[in-house]
């Protein structure tokens, strides 16, 4: 591209030589589900990166042609578009990027992927691009599906009608790709980009008459290029003209499968089972991998701790601040990997569009659409991959609204907290009550998220049209290498973008809980005290005299007292901002749990005993009561207490507006609801 410059803010994933003005660039465009991304992956191999348009969250990918094509050229891929007349802000950004990319300028060649099974519809975009002055090549895809109907496209005839090269390709098998690059090479060597730029213009929004003429042209072109037999065509009489057209009937195999997948009853059952598999996979399959990652960083932390001098601030900084901080980033990677693999499988097979269609109607009552459900469901496992899954929502307002409510879903990190607090409330002899309570919490989180979305939609008006136009692609066999490749790059984006923010906040929390009493002096009073118990006492003493404790006593305790909590709960809540599940271990530290046991059940029993014996600051009444504990559960249901979620929300929305709104609104909501719960239960005599 002519005006290319080095991308300074590009979100790279992997190693790639930057596209420069010395290297020509091929732009790939096409309608959704036309095979564009599959072609991009085949042309670039593993040599590509994913980026955001400057000032926007719309993603594009850039790469270099694989070495086997013997030609140096960059390849630019953008989101699918229906026409050059945008219907949403995201489409407008993608189309503007074609005419004047903010980093790479104009493309030397535009390759348009066109689904041959819908050639008339696909030619609408093709004709617009040609009329805009771009040097264009058509890459005909889905030729095998068209062949099953006994039909094919005469590529030479289509090339003659349009006046541009037309190449039939199969990206999965690699056929036609070398010919496609050879045609691109001819154009690049023949035409100077500076000369072409003066002839390229962006079309204005066409009139209804112009659109009608364009559709007439595409229909007539389809007649000329479609080769068929009599069994596969229909004879239509329009304006007293007899001509043959490709039947608009969907793929027969897809229609048979849709009788089950879109059935009013069985379709919902299959949908629930499918979503349940995704949820349980993210939660259960990822858990051993997450434990493995956690153990690896714990072992690394222990090894570094043994190597460095003991009881020094820099030793604690490296082990607890840096290593454990980076571990809190990496521990979520297994969930992200599993989520994107499963979503990739659903999308490649064609089922994801069906699932969105089934759930669209009930979600529209709350200002959302069918694509919002999968991110919401994924939020039960973890808000981080759930927010990233919201990328599938094309409408920017609805995508941001979905991201806004995802933190209200009860993620797996809340589970240890709920388990501890429910164990305090429920007698050990009736665990089934705790199970019902836990299920109610998860159901209530879904309801509360929908209600919040409905309230925001009622008061927040937008000029962006809320539409759910969805093309149901035919069922296909997924291309696993592309799914795994995309999963790798998306996971790498998470580590590179969210990681630094998480580590910085982790280091800040470490400093607040470590200083100023770095080497507290203690007296054990017993020779039987183990080294582990001594270390826990030291850690507890250091925390109780830390800046975090000081802030907790003088800033948070006056605010938390109306909820029945003291500064120790406040410090645990501060620590939980790194990760919600940290609340349990922080409670063990602040309440001076010193039992020498590696058994988590014993640790929980010790925490429960300390909670039952804990007194308020003045020592006059129990700190944890039924009312204060239920209020704490309510607070945890709504409060924004995960820096990882904040970081990813910032990355996915492109600004701090929504993350800061989530922190302020949900913290305020959590406080008010906890206040009402605590004082309301006290008024009812439930103490």
Tell me the DSSP string of 130-185. HHTT--EEEEEE-HHHHHTTT-EE-HHHHHHHHTS-EEE-BTTTTBTHHHHHHHHH
- What average pLDDT score do residues 521-540 get? 65
- The β-bridge partners of 226 are 153
pLDDT of residue 623: 85
CATH number at residue 202: 3.40.50.300
Among 230-234, 239-243, 267-271, whose mean pLDDT is lowest?
Answer: 239-243
Distance CA(304)–CA(507), nearest Å, equals: 17
Take residue 52 and report the two structure tokens written for it.
Answer: 């955001």
In order of 340, 347, 391, 475, 487, the CA distances from 343 in angstroms are: 5, 6, 11, 15, 10
pLDDT band of 279, cuts 50, 70, 90: low
Domain residue limits at 387 = 250-409
Residue 444 lies in a domain: no
- Specify whether 295 is located in the same domain as 239: no
- Specify whether 137 is located in the same domain as 220: yes
Identify the three-state secondary structure at position 190.
Answer: helix
pLDDT of residue 7: 30
- Specify whether 224 is located in the same domain as 352: no
Tell me the DSSP string of 505-566. HHHHHHHHHH-S-SS-------TT--HHHHHHHHHHHHHHTSHHHHHIIIIIHHHHGGGT--
pLDDT of residue 251: 64
In 3D space, the residue among 44, 59, 62 whose CA is nearest the CA of residue 7 turns out to be 62
pLDDT of residue 126: 92
Residue 228 · residue 246 · CB < 8 Å: yes
* Higher-confidence position of 15 and 330: 330
Burial of 230 per CB tally in 10 Å (0-12, 13-18, 19+):
exposed
pLDDT exceeding 90 applies to what percent of the chain?
14
Take residue 241 and report the two structure tokens written for it.
Answer: 């003209």
Residue 641 lies in a domain: yes
Distance CA(337)–CA(489), nearest Å, equals: 10
Q: Which pLDDT tens digit goes with each residue over 56-113?
A: 556 778 888 887 888 888 898 888 888 888 766 667 777 888 888 877 888 999 999 9
Cα within 13 Å of Cα(455), Cβ side: 9
DSSP secondary structure letter of residue 579: -
Q: Which pLDDT tens digit goes with each residue over 369-427?
A: 777 877 887 787 778 878 877 876 767 788 888 999 999 988 877 877 887 888 888 87
- What average pLDDT score do residues 326-345 get? 78
pTM attached to this predicted model: 0.60
Given a cut of 50, is residue 244 above it in pLDDT? no
- Specify whether 295 is located in the same domain as 388: yes
In 3D space, the residue among 203, 25, 222, 12 whose CA is nearest the CA of residue 107 turns out to be 25
Residue 441 lies in a domain: no
Residue 61 lies in a domain: yes
Burial of 256 per CB tally in 10 Å (0-12, 13-18, 19+):
exposed
In our burial notation (b when 16+ CB lie closer than 10 A, e otherwise), range 613-623 reads ebeeeeeeeeb
Rg (CA), the chain: 30
φ and ψ at residue 571, rounded to 5 degrees: -65, -40
Residue 68 lies in a domain: yes
Given a cut of 80, is residue 164 above it in pLDDT? yes
- What average pLDDT score do residues 166-192 get? 89
pLDDT band of 171, cuts 50, 70, 90: confident
In our burial notation (b when 16+ CB lie closer than 10 A, e otherwise), range 56-70 reads bbbbbbbbbbbeebe
Mean pLDDT is highest, among 155-159, 237-241, 413-417, 553-557, for 155-159
Residue 417 lies in a domain: no
In 3D space, the residue among 455, 502, 460, 447 whose CA is nearest the CA of residue 637 turns out to be 447
Mean pLDDT is highest, among 250-254, 523-527, 586-590, 650-654, for 650-654
pLDDT of residue 640: 80
- Specify whether 83 is located in the same domain as 163: yes
pLDDT exceeding 70 applies to what percent of the chain?
79
Among 49-53, 203-207, 392-396, 575-579, whose mean pLDDT is lowest?
Answer: 49-53
Distance CA(610)–CA(587), nearest Å, equals: 10
pLDDT of residue 289: 84
Given a cut of 80, is residue 596 above it in pLDDT? no
- Specify whether 234 is located in the same domain as 299: no
Q: Which pLDDT tens digit goes with each residue over 507-526?
A: 777 788 778 876 666 665 55
- Residue given tokens 């999963």 in the structure block: 487
Boundary (domain end) residue, out of 350, 377, 409: 409
- Specify whether 168 is located in the same domain as 317: no
Given a cut of 90, is residue 220 above it in pLDDT? no
DSSP secondary structure letter of residue 117: G
- Specify whether 398 is located in the same domain as 335: yes
Take residue 331 and report the two structure tokens written for it.
Answer: 């521990």
- Specify whether 337 is located in the same domain as 235: no
- Specify whether 312 is located in the same domain as 189: no
Residue 295 lies in a domain: yes
pLDDT band of 527, cuts 50, 70, 90: low
- Specify whether 147 is located in the same domain as 179: yes
Given a cut of 50, is residue 529 above it in pLDDT? yes
Q: Which pLDDT tens digit goes with each residue over 347-357?
A: 788 887 777 77
Q: 33: phi > 0 → left, psi -120 to 50 → alpha, else beta; which?
A: left
- Specify whether 293 is located in the same domain as 261: yes
pLDDT of residue 539: 73
Among 132-136, 321-325, 564-568, whose mean pLDDT is lowest?
Answer: 321-325
- What average pLDDT score do residues 264-271 get? 82
Q: Which pLDDT tens digit goes with each residue over 443-468?
A: 788 888 888 988 888 877 665 555 55
Distance CA(262)–CA(253), nearest Å, equals: 14
Boundary (domain end) residue, out of 218, 246, 274: 246
Residue 135 · residue 189 · CB < 8 Å: no
In 3D space, the residue among 349, 341, 383, 378 whose CA is nearest the CA of residue 487 turns out to be 341
Residue 369 · residue 393 · CB < 8 Å: yes
Residue 37's contacts (CB-CB under 8 Å, 6 or more residues apart) are: 77, 482
Report which secondary-structure segment, H or E, holds 29.
strand 25-30
Residue 231 · residue 150 · CB < 8 Å: yes
Residue 511 lies in a domain: yes
Residue 26's contacts (CB-CB under 8 Å, 6 or more residues apart) are: 65, 73, 74, 75, 76, 107, 108, 109, 110, 111, 184
Total domains in the chain come to 3
pLDDT of residue 405: 92
* Higher-confidence position of 425 and 537: 425
Boundary (domain end) residue, out of 192, 221, 246: 246
């Amino acid at each position: 591209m002519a005006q290319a410059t080095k991308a300074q803010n590009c979100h790279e994933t992997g190693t790639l030589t930057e596209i420069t003005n010395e290297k020509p660039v091929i732009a790939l465009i096409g309608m959704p589900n036309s095979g564009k991304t599959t072609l991009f992956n085949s042309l670039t191999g593993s040599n590509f990166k994913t980026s955001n348009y400057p000032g926007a969250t719309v993603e594009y990918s850039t790469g270099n042609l694989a070495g086997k094509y013997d030609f140096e050229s960059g390849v630019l891929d953008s989101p699918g578009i229906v026409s050059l007349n945008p219907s949403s802000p995201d489409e407008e950004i993608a189309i503007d990027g074609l005419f004047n990319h903010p980093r790479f300028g104009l493309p030397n060649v535009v390759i348009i992927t066109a689904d041959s099974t819908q050639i008339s519809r696909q030619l609408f975009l093709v004709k617009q691009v040609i009329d805009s002055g771009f040097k264009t090549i058509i890459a005909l895809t889905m030729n095998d599906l068209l062949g099953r109907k006994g039909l094919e496209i005469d590529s030479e005839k289509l090339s003659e009608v349009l006046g541009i090269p037309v190449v039939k390709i199969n990206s999965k098998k690699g056929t036609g790709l070398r010919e496609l690059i050879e045609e691109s090479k001819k154009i690049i060597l023949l035409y100077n980009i500076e000369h072409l730029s003066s002839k390229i213009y962006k079309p204005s929004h066409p009139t209804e008459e112009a659109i009608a003429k364009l559709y007439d042209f595409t229909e007539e072109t389809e007649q000329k290029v479609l080769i068929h037999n009599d069994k596969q065509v229909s004879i239509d009489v329009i304006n007293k003209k007899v001509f043959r057209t490709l039947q608009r009937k969907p793929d027969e195999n897809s229609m048979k499968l849709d009788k089950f997948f879109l059935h009013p009853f069985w379709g919902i059952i299959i949908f629930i089972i499918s979503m349940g598999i995704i949820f349980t996979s993210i939660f259960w399959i990822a858990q051993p991998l997450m434990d493995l990652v956690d153990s690896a960083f714990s072992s690394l932390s222990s090894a570094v701790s043994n190597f460095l001098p003991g009881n020094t601030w820099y030793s604690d900084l490296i082990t607890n601040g840096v290593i454990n901080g980076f571990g809190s980033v990496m521990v979520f990677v297994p969930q992200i990997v599993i989520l994107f693999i499963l979503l990739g499988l659903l999308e490649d097979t064609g089922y994801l569009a069906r699932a969105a269609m089934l759930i669209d109607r009930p979600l529209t009552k709350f200002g959302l659409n069918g694509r919002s459900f999968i991110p919401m469901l994924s939020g039960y496992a973890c808000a981080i991959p759930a927010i990233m899954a919201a990328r599938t929502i094309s409408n920017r307002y609805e995508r941001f609204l979905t991201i806004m409510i995802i933190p209200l879903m009860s993620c797996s990190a809340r589970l240890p907290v709920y388990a501890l607090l429910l164990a305090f409330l429920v007698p050990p002899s009736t665990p089934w009550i705790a199970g019902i309570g836990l299920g109610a919490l998860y159901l209530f989180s879904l309801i509360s998220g929908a209600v919040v979305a409905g309230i925001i939609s009622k008061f927040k008006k937008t000029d962006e049209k809320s539409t759910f136009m969805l093309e149901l692609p035919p069922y296909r066999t997924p291309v696993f290498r592309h799914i795994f490749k995309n999963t790798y790059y998306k996971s790498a984006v998470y580590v590179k973008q969210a990681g630094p923010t998480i580590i910085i906040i982790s280091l800040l929390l470490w400093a607040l809980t470590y200083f100023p009493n770095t080497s507290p002096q203690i007296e054990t009073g017993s020779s039987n005290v183990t080294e582990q118990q001594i270390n826990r006492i030291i850690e507890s003493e250091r925390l109780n005299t830390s800046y975090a404790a000081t802030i907790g006593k003088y800033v948070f305790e006056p605010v938390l007292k109306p909820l029945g909590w003291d500064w120790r709960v406040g410090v645990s809540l501060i620590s939980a901002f790194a990760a919600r599940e940290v609340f349990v271990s922080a409670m063990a530290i602040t309440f001076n749990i010193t039992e020498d046991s590696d058994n988590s059940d014993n640790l929980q029993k010790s925490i429960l005993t300390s909670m039952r014996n804990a007194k308020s600051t003045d020592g006059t009444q129990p700190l944890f009561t039924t009312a204060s504990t239920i209020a704490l559960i309510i607070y945890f249901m709504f409060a924004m207490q995960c820096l990882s979620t904040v970081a990813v929300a910032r990355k996915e929305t492109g600004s701090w507006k929504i993350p800061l709104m989530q922190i302020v609104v949900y913290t305020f909501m959590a406080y008010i609801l906890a206040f009402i719960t605590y004082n309301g239960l006290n008024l009812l005599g439930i103490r």
